[in-house]
Structure 1
Amino acid sequence: MSYLRFERSLMTNLEESLSRELLRTNRSGAYSCSTIVDCNTRKYHGLLVVPVPELDEENHVLLSSLDVTVVQHGAEFNLGLHKYRGNNFSPNGHKYIREFNCDSVPTTIYRVGGVVLKKEVVFQHYEDRILLRYTLLDAHSSTTLRFRPFMAFRSVREFTHENSAANRDYQLVDNGIKTQMYKGYPYLYMQFSKGNEFVFHPDWYRGIEYPKEQERGYDSYEDLYVPGYFETEIKKGESIVFSASTSEIKTGGLLKLFQNEVDERNPRDNFYHCLVNAAHQFHNTKNGSECYLLSGYPWFKSRARDTFISLPGLTLAIDEVGYFEKVMATAGKGYKEFMREKPVTVSLSEIDQPDVPLWAIWSIQQYAKVVGDEKCLKKYGKFIFDILHFLLEGKHPYMRVEDNGLVYVDGKGKVMTWMNSTVNGRLVVPRNGYIVEINSLWYNALGFAARLNKIEGDAQFTETLEELSARCKESFVKTFLNDYGYLFDYVDGNMMDWSVRPNMLFAIALDYSPLTADQRKSILDVCTRELLTPKGMRTLSPKSGGYNPICAGPQMQRDLSYHQGTAWPWLGGFYMEACLKIYRRTRLSFIERQLVGYEDEMQTNCLGTLPEMFDGNPPFKARGAISFAMNVGETLRTLSILEKYTDII
């Protein structure tokens, strides 16, 4: 039985099918994304969406969609689908869908009378080229296919509207055309694997509506330009490949290229394989050698904190040590430049955040578990110790090591932690001073560094680290542990934040904890009672002031709820790790049941991946980015940890 297969009844029910999205990437920053019925519902959707570095740092929708019309005996059956103003859908091609399957590559079966047409889609790896293969499975008379491209040539953050500046010129190329709507953009090459006729019939399709943008309080209408249509005959059993790209290709090899791409694809026939496929979609290779992890789709770029948190799960947990090392080489280069106060030459944002170096050390700590301490020390020891000296010498612009062994974050009014939402320039969750997860990471980093330094290092530096760690441990308990058995979220002088938040989890989940076993159990129990949901950990307890669990509506409304009760799966990863460390095998079945809540998401929202967050209250609706690296990474890491505990039995 197929894992990602949907029958006609679901596909033709737009209330069900329009909520399911499909993402494909080329691992170099470009992507293709729409709903499973090919009706774009976001301005970020498009058949070919690529970065155009000559213009800006954004992705750009070149080809929005491709409508296919089956022509038999002069009758036309358009298989496309668009939403227009007034809740009008046209041309309702979804009613011809009989089946959709995504276990290998996205495959849609259409039936129009006696015509059965199969469509398959792949995005060529490391090339800005989307490939669609159409196979005529059955037909009782001569059949013609007509292809009508809808072009946008715009940033994913903007809309296009009918205008006289759009260039209508085109040039014939091998089995297709190339065209460029505006100067500065690359040419869009649209080619077929067989001969065809292009009919120049320029027109604008006006008032196309994107309901997801409406929900988010943004403008939601645009016009798309159609230069004409391609037409070709197809015989029963024949396959035709359509290519849309920023470069020309020899069309004689399109059929073979498509099949080669299919053969390289990993199956998505279970929970784990879906997550592995999703992990690869975050890969982003630039300039031939720089390797990154995108933080999420469709609007995130590469962020330093997200990179280090998601890196172990997206690589080590799926036995891809090589890509870990490549990403760490790029990110490490950027952080070394930052520590030396040189211009950062890598495309990694928020590198100055105080917790970033500590997450980098944690990420390397996970690497050590795979390759061993000695190899880890040889490869990353200097980087780790450079970070610690950088911090101990007080060179970080926003964080300093205090005499009590804790680290103090001094950045009032600025975003200093992962809880970074702002409204009108003001932080929704202001956190300053001694911050619980940053000090948990700091204590963990001291313990790990001391262990590595003992292998081959300066004994005096090891003694310094151990003495500092002991002071940090004592101060941590005095500063953060309250009389109710959980940890303050942050402490700044006489200000103690009593809010019950998941940031205390790191003090009990990391390998080096400053807390006793009883203290860890008490904190875990509070998190279980007040923060745990089937979709991860709430960012704030319902019992705490300001609880706002529904992240919906206009931008300001979403910002106010972003970290005030929404549930995040990546936090659930650390929660489950803490459960296993504290209760070990007695919690295995509980963890397995918790992961069922994540697996349920494979067939909803964006297929085969996990979204950014969920509402904190039932029915826990998905919100934010459709695919989020930290959530996928931590779920994969949890599965890896769970497997190790299971193997012990």
Structure 2
Amino acid sequence: MIPISFGPQVCGDPAAGGAREWLLPDGLGGYAMGTVSGLRTRRYHGLLVVAGATPASRRLALAALDATLTLPSGATVRLGTHEWASGAVEPRGHELLSGFTLADGLPRWRWRVGDTVVERELAMTHGRPAVAVVHRLVAGGPVGLTLEALCTWRDAHGERTAAGPPPTVEPAADGCVVAGAYRLTGPGVRPAGRWWRGVHHREEAARGLNPGEDLWHAGSFHTTLTAPGDAAQVTAWAGDATALADRPAPPVEVVAAARRRHRAVVAAARPADDLTASLALAADAFVVRTPAGPDVVAGYPWFGAWSRDTMISYEGLFLATGRADAGADLLRSYAATLSEGMLANTADTGAVEYNTVDGTLWFLHAVGRHVAATGDTGLAADLLPGLRAVVGAHLAGTRYGIRADPADGLLTQGADGEALTWMDARVDGVPVTQRRGKPVEVNALWVNALAVVADLAARTRGDAGPAARAHEAAVAGFRRRFPAPHGLLYDVVDGPGGDDPALRPNQLLAWSLPHAPLRPEPEALRRVAGALLTPVGLRSLAPAERGFTGRHRGTGAARDAAYHQGTVWPWLAGPYRDAARRCGLTDDEAPAATAAHLAEWGLGSVSETADGDPPHAATGCPFQAWSVAEALRTLRTG
């Protein structure tokens, strides 16, 4: 894998070190997450964040574990780092960091105080909400070590303050139980009980959200590290928190097991090089186990499961990583949500919603890719009746005006106040890019989906009938309607204002899908790349177009207004590379640019979005499923 490490100049700078984030998922939707400098810059940062009934319903538990050294001279040195509402950064333990390394996906910090060097390692216990923290003396000693537990128990999207009651803390063997929800154990426990007021999260302030909270100092752990190799081990876990018998393995064993597991995950993906090895491990973060079976977290730290994201990510997350069996289970589970020919869109809120025009078509694409890659005709036979029903519902018409137009065989869609394509941002409830009519990528997906159903019918000796006939009509309609006089494709035809020639990346799908309706022309693709391609991904709107917004920053409304109006989306590099290969073009800079990005923001991963203007600084979720999946899928194939 690509080594990621930083020295004191990055670690010791709250801006530089605080802008680079690490993530340790637990395989359930929970995680530990923070920054290279140790500064908590988001409300979502903590050592134990616990998933609830869905991956999106998370709660922050253990926010921080601050270390203090007592040197042989009796002097004390605090290694923690916090920012406060006053603007002060105190203590300033980041200034004592000699380095940070992400090795085998596990973060490790080293602090140097004179001839004393102390190291911290973290790991999650895969498959349960449990974090292991190891502090080890590397050089010098003896030193006293105090670890202060800063706790809360709140929704990960909110905050908890001293205006309300503190979390309950019940003493227990080797530690305590907090809020009746999670347990801490470690050496030499001493109870405490006071608020640390005015913690400031600079990233939330930059996003126009409440940046403050208070943390409860629940207690501390104490030990002496006498000689190099001595370690202090602390565990925090949720679940049956009051049962010591449920305690995870010792932290040093958890760290070693996590390292072995990560290496096995990479080996199962059979990567071609260090870059695809790193992407294979990054992909592992998004595949989670829920009570309903395998699922996909769309992005960390704030997204849960979204069906469109899951299906776009499917090939990269499951087929490119050796998870075909789990993928088949996921596809069957999602197929059970089909209603009126539409796939349920989101489980983030716990509610079932049917509000996309393309999510269902991406599902058919995922099924087609699975069967093509595995030859699993059993899955094809099981799902084919439901897929035929999808075709029938779209031909007859379903929710939100989604229907095939008999005049040209193309899908039209739209309803007042709705944004049904992937460009679905709203400001004050009003869609920014409604794209009512016949969007180009939706119809490329429709052509592809009809071909998939016909192919699956042929594989299972069934009747391709309606799908094959609809496919023929849709291909003819697409080739007639979407080519524009300027030599590219319309973004939408038959919209309220007629045909929309805006230069967006959506037309790439008309050239890149397995059953694409058109073959790309090199000159057309060069024009798209010239306006949209960046080192991080593709802009969602060309800079010369009306409404282009080059920065994806500020309040929620400002960010949503820019979301699909020029903001760069890394996942779109996947369709671009597919189209480029088909017409003999190459994207030689892609591997180097992707490798550089892995060390820039969400360490070892690929961000959700980036600014449309140079230098294309990353925005959105630092760790995004479809961004990683499309990079892995396309870069591992050459």
- TM-score higher than 0.5: yes
- Corresponding residue SS for 1:64: strand
Q: What residue is the counterpart of 1:508 in the other structure?
A: 511
CA distance in 2, matches of 1:580, 1:360: 24
1:505-584 matches, cutoff 5 A: 505-515=508-518, 517=519, 520-583=521-584
RMSD of aligned C-alpha atoms?
Answer: 2.6
CA contact (8 A) 1:303 1:349 kept: no
The answer as to 2:236 corresponding to 1:244 is yes
CA distance in 2, matches of 1:167, 1:504: 52
Count of equivalent residues = 620
Quick check: 2:132–2:254 contact (8 Å CA) kept in 1? no
Cα deviation for residue 543 of structure 1 reads: 1.5
Question: Kindly tell me: are residues 506 and 84 of structure 1, through their superposed partners in 2, closer, same or farther at Cα, counting changes over 3 Å?
Answer: same
Residue in structure 1 matched with residue 627 of structure 2 by the alignment: 631
Verify: 1:262 aligned to 2:253, yes or no.
no
Q: Quick one: structure 1 residues 419 and 340, their matched pair in 2 at CA, closer, same or farther if it must change by over 3 Å?
A: closer
Check conservation: 1:32, 1:123, Cα contact below 8 A. yes
> Are 1:490 and 2:489 counterparts?
no
2:21 maps to 1:29: no
Aligned to 1:462: 464
Is 1:115 the equivalent of 2:116?
Answer: yes
1:373-431 CA deviation, whole Å, 9 max, x = no partner? 74663454334323223323434554111212111113232021110111111111121
Of residues 570-579 and 107-116 in structure 1, the stretch that sits farther from structure 2 once superposed is 107-116
Cα deviation, residue 146, structure 1: 0.6
For 1:199, the equivalent position in structure 2 comes to 190
Unaligned runs of 5+ in 1: 181-185, 643-649
Query: How far has the Cα of 1:232 moved from its partner?
Result: 1.7
Superposed CA offset, 1:541-588 (max 9, x none): 1111111121001111111111000111111110110010121xxx3x
TM-score, with length taken from structure 2: 0.91
Aligned to 2:71: 72
2:194 match: secondary structure: strand
| Residue 62, structure 1, aligned to residue 61, structure 2 | yes
Q: State the partner residue of 1:478.
A: 480
Please say if residues 56 and 303 of structure 2, whose CA atoms lie closer than 8 Å, have aligned partners that are also in contact: no
The superposition leaves residues 116-148 of structure 1 with CA deviations (integer Å, 9 ceiling, x where unpaired) of 2121100110111110112212234x3221110
Q: Retained in 1: the 8 A contact 2:391–2:467?
A: no
Secondary structure at the aligned position of 2:573 is classed as helix
Distance change in 2, residues 1:295/1:15 (3 Å):
same
Going from structure 1 to structure 2, the CA distance change for 1:602 and 1:580 (only over 3 Å counts) comes to same
Matched, 1:187 2:181: yes
The CA distance in 1 between the partners of 2:443 and 2:500, in whole Å, is 15
Q: What residue identity is the alignment partner of 1:227?
A: A
Instruction: Tell me, in whole angstroms, the C-alpha distance in 2 between the residues paired with 1:426 and 1:2.
Output: 43
**Cα separation, 2, equivalents of 1:162 and 1:378:** 58
Corresponding residue for 2:395? 392
Residue number in structure 2 paired with 1:126: 127
How far apart are the structure 1 equivalents of 2:536 and 2:482? 27
Amino acid corresponding to residue 95 of structure 1 in structure 2: E
Could you tell me which runs of 5 or more consecutive residues in structure 2 were left unpaired when the two chains were aligned: 267-272
Taking the aligned partners of 1:568 and 1:162, their CA distance within structure 2 comes to 40
Superposed, 1:121-200 pairs within 5 Å as 121-140=122-141, 142-163=142-163, 165-173=165-173, 175-180=174-179, 186-192=180-186, 196-200=187-191
Deviations 1:513-552 (A, max 9, x none): 323x4x6445423311211111111100111111112100
> Residue 447 of structure 1: CA displacement?
2.0
In the alignment, residue 71 of structure 2 is paired with which amino acid? Q
Residue 290 in structure 1 maps to residue 293 in structure 2: yes
Conserved 8 A contact 1:335-1:351: no
| 1:339 positional shift | 5.6
CA distance 1:598–1:512, shift in 2 (3 Å): same
In structure 2, the residue matched to 1:645 is none
* Letter paired with 1:476: F
Residue 647 of structure 1 corresponds to none
Query: Which segment is superposed worse, 316-325 or 413-422?
Result: 316-325
d(CA) in 2 for partners of 1:243, 1:508 = 51
Q: C-alpha offsets along residues 36-95 of structure 1, whole Å, 9 cap, x if unaligned?
A: 1221001111111112449x9621111111101111233211110001133311111112
Report if aligned partners of 1:312, 1:324 keep a CA contact under 8 Å in 2. Answer: no
Classify the secondary structure of the residue corresponding to 2:597.
Answer: helix
| Contact residue 337 and residue 344 of structure 1 kept, 8 A | no
What is the CA distance between 1:347 and its match in structure 2?
5.6
Measured at CA, do residues 249 and 275 of structure 1 come closer, stay the same or move farther in structure 2, by a change above 3 Å?
Answer: farther
Contact 1:304/1:351 (8 A) holds in 2:
no
Matched-pair contact (CA < 8 Å) for 2:279–2:605: yes
TM-score (norm 1): 0.90
SS at match of 2:583: helix
Shift in Å, 1:113: 2.5
Q: Determine helix, strand or coil for the equivalent of 1:564.
A: coil
Deviation at 1:471, TM superposition (A): 1.9
Secondary structure of the 1:205 match is: strand
One-letter amino acid of the counterpart of residue 504, structure 2: R
Give the partner amino acid of 1:284: V
Q: Using the alignment, how far apart are the partners of 2:66 and 2:506 within structure 1?
A: 48
**What is the DSSP-based 3-state SS (H/G/I as helix, E as strand, rest coil) of the residue aligned with 2:587?**
helix
| Aligned equivalents of 1:293, 1:340: Cα separation in 2 | 15
* 1:539 partner letter: S
Separation in 2 of the partners of 1:606 and 1:596?
17
SS at match of 1:102: strand
Specify the SS of the correspondent of 1:441: helix
- Amino acid of the residue matched to residue 37 of structure 2? V
Distance in 1 (CA, whole Å) between partners of 2:440 and 2:152 is 47
For the pair 1:605 / 2:601, whether they are aligned, the reply is: yes
Quote the residue 1:6 is aligned against.
6
| Secondary structure of the corresponding residue to residue 592 of structure 1 | coil
> In 1, distance between residues paired with 2:130 and 2:606?
25
CA deviations 1:168-212 (Å, max 9, x no partner) are 542222x222122xxxxx4321112xxx33323322111111110
* Contact 1:296 1:629 (C-alpha < 8 Å) held by counterparts: yes
Equivalence for 1:226? 217
